[in-house]
Amino acid sequence: MSVLRRRGLMYVLSSPSGAGKTTITRALLKNNPDVTVSVSVTTRPRRAGEVQGQDYYFVNKDEFRDMVDNNEMLEHAKVFEHYYGTPRQPVEAALASGKDVLFDIDWQGTQQLSEISRDDLVTVFILPPSRAELEKRLRHRSRETKETEEQIRGRMSKAADEMSHYSEYDYVIINNDVDEAIARAQLILDAEKLKRQRQMGLSEFVKGLKDGL
C-alpha cells in the first residue's frame, strides 16, 4: 500500500450569483480538512471584513495584467467590470502534494482550466430551483452588500447567460435544499477521488499482488 498515492484534483463549483455556491463551498471546506481553496486574484475593491490573501488577493489592473503576461495565471476573466484570476503556483503545488483544490469560478474560467488541465478537473454547476427563488436570494443578500436595484437586475440578467453554460459541466446540482445540495457535492468529490486514473502507483501495487500469488 505504501506505493499508492493520489494526485490532487481541481474541484470547480460554478453558479449564477444567489444559487448557493458560496454556502456549499464553505461546507465542503469545513468537512474536508485535506481540501484547500484556490484564492483568486481580483481588481475589485476590498469589501468590509475581507482579508488580503484569505478572501482574495487584491491588486490593481496593472499588477493583474503583469501576472497574465508572465503566465502566472491558470485562468482569468472579466466579471462586472472587474478582473478575476487564479494564481498558478499554489494550485500546482497543492495538486502535486496530493491535495484537492476547490475553485469558486465562473464558466469562463472553467473553460480555460478545461483547456489546460482536463485530466485534473471535476466541474459542477449549481442551479437555483426557480427564477423567483434566485431573485429572492439576491434581494436578501443585497441588504448586506448594499447593492442597488440596477445592480440586482444586472445580476439577474447575467444569471440567464451563465445558466446557459450548464451543459459544459460534468455534474449539475439543483439547490432546492442546501443540506441536500452539500451532500451531493460531497458525494461527487468522494467518488472522483477514487477514480482509477488518480490512483498513482496502482499498477505497481497490482503487480505486487499478482507476484505474491
pLDDT digits (tens, 9 = 90+) for 46-84: 988 899 999 999 999 999 999 999 999 999 988 878 999
- Rounded Cα distance between 126 and 101, Å, is 18
pLDDT single digits (tens) 148-176:
888 878 888 888 899 999 999 999 999 99
Q: What is the pLDDT of the chain when averaged over all its residues?
A: 90
Q: What are the percentages of helix, strand and coil residues in the chain, rounded to 5? A: 50, 20, 30
CA distance 120 to 10: 6
Among all chains, which residue has been given the C-alpha cell 505486487? 208
- The residue assigned the cell 508572465 is 70
Residue 103 has pLDDT above 90, yes or no: yes
CB 43 within 8 A of CB 153: no
Contacts of residue 76, Cβ cutoff 8 Å, sequence gap at least 6: 41, 64, 68, 83, 84, 85, 86, 109, 112
The upper half-sphere exposure of residue 122, i.e. CA atoms within 13 Å in the direction of its Cβ, equals 20
Instruction: Give every CB contact of residue 95 below 8 A, 6+ residues apart in sequence.
Output: 7, 8, 9, 10, 101, 120
d(CA 140, CA 119): 38
Percent of the chain with pLDDT over 90: 59
Domains identified in the chain and CATH numbers: 5-38+99-211 (3.40.50.300)
Q: Alpha-carbon distance 132 to 109, whole Å? A: 27
